[in-house]
Structure 1
Amino acid sequence: MTALDHDRIPEIALDWHRAGRGAALATVVETWGSAPRQAGSQLAISGAGDIMGSVSGGCVEGAVVTEALEAMADGVPRLLTFGVSDDSAFAVGLACGGTIRVLVEPVGAGGDRLPPALLEALVAARAARQARGYVVALDNWSRALVEPGQETAVDARLRSDKSGMEEDGRFVAVQNPPLRLIVVGAVHIAQPLLIMARACGYAPTLIDPRAAFGSAERFPGEQIVEDWPDEAMAALAPDARTAVVTLTHDAKLDDPAILAALDSPCFYLGCLGSTRTHAKRLERLRAAGVTEAAIARIHAPVGLDIGAKTPAEIAVSVLAQITLTLRRGA
């Protein structure tokens, strides 16, 4: 398993199907109370009972796998409900006080199965970083892959990054592009930050033209770009699913990246440096013609104020601020 396999559930289900192993996708479609996973959380199940992902953090996975194997055998999707008021559900472990509904879809041709061509189209869109809404009508199992701009309700869910049920009985699974983190500066804070970000589902890229800093020995397995930040940022093209963090303290490196980030729709821009360092940075940005509205997008000094001292603690504060901005806005 790679570090991001837990975010590749549709891809893994498709791989299992193509390999002739059988596959089903289980998706949380609705929750009430203190549910362990949010709507849209997925679990892939193979015909041999292998699993990847989660719909409940381990509480009901065993029961879902059993239903998925039966669905693969008879080709009929299932809509399962688990909650503490249900004795059988409590027996399989959902004791957190919540209730969840889980859609189980066997992958295959014919009947009410999830068509492989539709799953392939979804996987291709994800690979191309194209947002899609996967829509399922739970009364007749009709399905569609909706692009941005095609339906208002789907657009609203893509913007809020929130899967869920519509009033007409359809379930919309948000399939937004994977999150990315661009870090400028291969300094000590970057080492734990990249590891933590990857664990949280980000695909990180490190930019530093100084080969001695951005070496594979210091950052094993990471994507390292040795171009100057302005060139690297132009090639990476930050989008609305991208966070940018600058860590060098060197205006020659940080400023071009900051300007590029402010010229992009990235959802977060954080810059390391003291209040005094940031004040000088703002002078340079204003002199370069950056507007006050753009300057207001910068989080500096970077990270939440949690009293962090060590590089790892600072990385925690940075990732926490990124998460806060992503989930609750600036």
Structure 2
Amino acid sequence: MTHEFKKIVEGFISDKKKGLKSVLATVVALDGSSYRRPGVRMGISENGELTGAVSGGCVEKEVVFQAASVFKTGSPKMMTYDGRFRLGCEGILYILLEPFDVDDQVLQQLKEALCKRTEFAIASHYKKEYGVCNGLGSIVVLKGARIPLRRNFNSGQETELFSQEMKPIYKLVIIGGEHDAVKLSYLALGLGWEVVVATVPSEDKQLADFPGIDALWNVEPELLPVDEIDAQTAVVLMTHSYVKDLKYLKALKKAEPMYFGLLGPTKRREKLFGEYMELYPEEDYDFFDAIYGPAGLNIGAEAPEEIAVAILAEILTVIRKQEPMLLRDKKQGIHN
């Protein structure tokens, strides 16, 4: 969710420079089932441009239509969307529409929090009924400070509250600069993740070799900035070099990513671990247990793009604590 909010903030910045108003749409409650759940947001520009989505594409036109009055009056409102009769989703969406209007100082605080990977929360005051109400609106809670997303906002006493923790955007560190690393970076960027590629100077790689990535760590393994690998970061070691992999394992020993994947077959992994233990006999090897190797789910992947899908699917499975299965075999709903 955080990566979507980041794009909405970027869209607001762009609108503000153009002198355009913005409206923020937030799904704050749901009765039944729907394509997406509470906490999804969409930015609406006065010129009709949309950033993000609150559904698979079927609700957005109605949201834009309802937002017209918010642009005109500057007053927040609630809208409902009954998917039981239109979509077959068997759910009713409750969507808060509010002016997105903050000053430059607040904007800078939001940008810094997103850039520095600082956790924050968003609290939205809403009602489960259609209509205009000045007590509706959202507040960002950042380092103890409460920052309204529109000027002069005072929450209503009789509203309900939807609160959401916004953790840092998922980050993927790809160690290796070959063709398959490019494919993996491309798909991860499509998920809205921050992507960093790590190579060594002798590979002569440039930032432009990996279109769209956030950073290139062009350093020797022992100089890898491991402190930038946090609990919202996944690491995939895919250098295709046995010697480099040994060096990177040493560098990453104390890192605690949310996922650590190792490319290559089981025999290679066992040989790699065995040689590591011979080189460093006095070390603790418990970190081996946290490594997923061979990286990826068993989906029959062969092409680099398919392998990238398998790896990203495994990362999501691990960090969301899910058991891979066909959804048609799931006895409960899609979302627990």
Shorter-chain TM range is 0.7 to 0.9
**Aligned residue identity for 2:292:** H
- Write the deviation string for residues 210-261 of structure 1: whole angstroms up to 9, x where unpaired: 5546356753454433211331333x61111111101124344223433444
1:131 aligns with 2:115: no
- Pick from 181, 193, 206: which aligns with 1:190? 181
1:277 to 2:268 alignment: yes
How far residue 302 of structure 1 moved from its aligned partner, in angstroms, is: 1.0
Aligned to 1:257, the other structure's residue is in SS state helix
Q: Distance in 1 between matches of 2:177 and 2:248?
A: 14
Residue 199 of structure 2 corresponds to residue 208 of structure 1: yes
Residue number among 257, 278, 303 corresponding to 1:266 in the alignment = 257
- How much has 1:307 moved relative to structure 2? 2.0
Matched, 1:300 2:288: no
- 1:1-330 mapped onto 2 (5 Å cutoff): 8-85=7-84, 90=86, 94-108=87-101, 118=106, 120-138=108-126, 140-141=135-136, 143-147=138-142, 169-209=160-200, 211-212=202-203, 214-215=205-206, 218-222=209-213, 223-234=215-226, 237-286=228-277, 288=280, 291=284, 293-328=286-321
Aligned-pair CA distance for 1:277: 1.3
Answer whether contact 2:171 2:232 (CA < 8 A) is retained: yes
| Contact residue 261 and residue 269 of structure 1 kept, 8 A | no
TM-score by length of 2: 0.78
Q: 1:33 and 1:292 mapped to 2: Cα distance?
A: 47
Shift of 1:303: 0.9
CA spacing shift, 1:64–1:39, aligned 2, 3 Å:
same
Report the number of matched residues. Answer: 298
Distance 1:35 1:117 in 2: 37
Deviations 1:59-85 (A, max 9, x none): 111111122221122122122221234
Name the residue aligned to 1:154. none
CA deviation after TM superposition for structure 1 residue 197, in Å: 0.8
Structure 2 spans left out of the alignment, 5+ residues: 128-134, 146-158, 324-336
- The percent of aligned pairs where both chains have the same amino acid is 29
Verify the 8 A CA contact 2:183 2:305 in the aligned structure 1: yes
TM-superposed deviation, 1:5: 7.8
Give me the whole-angstrom Cα distance separating, in 1, the residues matched to 2:27 and 2:118.
22
Q: Which amino acid aligns with 2:219?
A: D
Q: Deviations over 1:4-43 (max 9, x none)?
A: 8885112212431353200111111123433112222111
* Cα 1:231/1:49, change in 2 over 3 Å: same
Which letter does structure 2 place at the counterpart of 1:129?
R
Rounded to whole Å, the distance in 2 between the matches of 1:246 and 1:41 is 32
Q: Cα RMSD (Å) of the superposition? A: 2.9
Unaligned runs of 5+ in 1: 109-113, 152-167
Indicate the larger mover: 35-44 or 238-247. Answer: 35-44
Q: Deviation at 1:297?
A: 0.9
